[in-house]
Amino acid sequence: MTLLTTSQTALLSGLSRSSRISMPLRARILNPEFFARVRMASTSAAEQKGNVDDDDVHFNVHDRTRTITLNRPRKLNALNQSMIDKMIGRLQVWKDSEDPNLVLLKGAGGKAFCAGGDVAALLSVEPKLAGKFFGEEYYLNGLIATYPKTIVALIDGITMGGGCGLAMHAPFRIATEKTVFAMPETLIGFYPDVGAGFFLSRLDGQLGAYLAITGERLNGFDAYIAGAATHFVPSYSLEEVESRLTDLATPSELLTTEVDKQGLAKFNTLINQAINDYQAVIEPGYSYSYGGDVGETIDRCFAFDTVTEIETALKAEAEAGNEFASKTLEIMALRSPLSMRIGLQAVRYGAKVSLVEMLKRDVHVAYQSVKNEEFRIGVTYRVVEKQTGRAAWSEPAKTDVEVKEQYFLSALDPEMDEFYAPIDGLEGDYNEYPYHNGLPTTTEVRDYVLGESAESGPYLMTRAEIVDYFVEKYRNKIGVEYKVSELLARKTKVVSKEEELVNWI
């Protein structure tokens, strides 16, 4: 059981005497709201003693908008314990307040939104303390994902690892030409955590499995086309976007004190339309990096449930002259064999479970992973020594079946009980994100073509008719025509040459 310090007890005694505060001590500690208040109390006490950086996160209040700015630009806004504690506490207070309608989340310095967790700092602590860091980080991810007020993440610049965990669970994610999105953990002997198994598995086709295993990047507009971002806005327009969204958040007609779902849905639509007004046009000659033959190679080779089978498929394609397959094998050769297997299984697991189940499993898997020698070797080699070759991975790769059994089929580690409980207590859970503000997904287009969606008719259509439908449905949102056309070119075939009617392959 968690014990409270004298200062925390004194602070908590001054809180309003609600029914929640009258709960038994253990029930209060396992309550997520109480957990957040304890975090805030703990942070305040630490700040008074000078144990944390007072300036690592900025909080701004303007009318009914609240802004969180990650402020470690020299570290590319990498997350540490102090930042996590502060954000949890502040978000919890805002959640319970009637004033805020909108939360903006961004990074300082112009180079990065957030480059991930400060993993080098975890090398010098006991695994349990490292597990504590991850457990509280995942609670923050879940708090953002289930937040009852609109959150907009401005992913301008490097957005990796823990930064993806902050951004990807928000309903709005604005990319710019400077965005670099990646989950590179397999390169440092870790695995794609922060709920990545959940959000990567919901990207188009097998792209999520590819990104999890290889750690490769989505740059700029590619992040938008892939679904990692919901909007693409030029970096120079972000200040105008913030101003516009702040103006929209000031009225409260749509939102009641309880922030009802209908009002939130309408407010979501207003925010979506407002950001769309600032979106950039597609540059002439743009070609999606993971479309065409590359996209087809990914979908073919990464459809398997073991890394061994994926490598076999890639080797066969490489021998047949597929340059992308050859390059992918070279990339994978640098990664930890164990980490790649954990990453793949995380994506497969995440596709079948709810968000809360994924985050709880991440607590378990992360705790096991930091105890692996691979983590120390990878972080030392890549982050501390800044080497670029292949780390001397010491642990022989377990089979995919062994990895699945050890990390994803085993019971949750009881040593991490105190961190599962707050995630369990999040106010909401789901198997699909409740708001879809980005471009049409492959699944959505496929269902429409096959007549399996409510909007489909009983007849086959031409590619032009399908594109026109989605352009109208998405109100001429930038990129819709490009993405749907690209998907149809790869995933459909003409079944009536005379009428140019198509069907899904």
Q: What residues are annotated to the active site?
A: 117, 162, 185, 193
Distance CA 426, CA 437 (A): 23
- The DSSP symbol for 405 reads I
Exposure string for 384-405, b = 16+ CB within 10 A, e = fewer:
eeeeeeebebeeebbebeebbe
Q: Which residue has the tokens 């985050």?
A: 359
Q: Which residue has the tokens 């990895």?
A: 403
Residue 227 CA, distance from chain mean position: 11
Distance CA 367, CA 500 (A): 55
- The DSSP symbol for 117 reads B
Expressed in angstroms, the distance from the first to the final Cα of the chain is 56
Q: How many CB atoms lie within 10 A of CB 448?
A: 22
Walk across the sheet containing 218-219 and list its strands.
Answer: 112-114, 158-160, 180-182, 218-219
Give 130-167 as a DSSP string.
HHHHHHHHHHHHHHHHT-SSEEEEEE-SEEETHHHHHH
Dihedral Cα 16, 17, 22, 26, nearest 10 deg = 10
Q: In the numeric block, which tokens belong to residue 132?
A: 């504590």
Distance CA 128, CA 119 (A): 14
CB 343 within 8 A of CB 302: no
Distance CA 445, CA 85 (A): 41
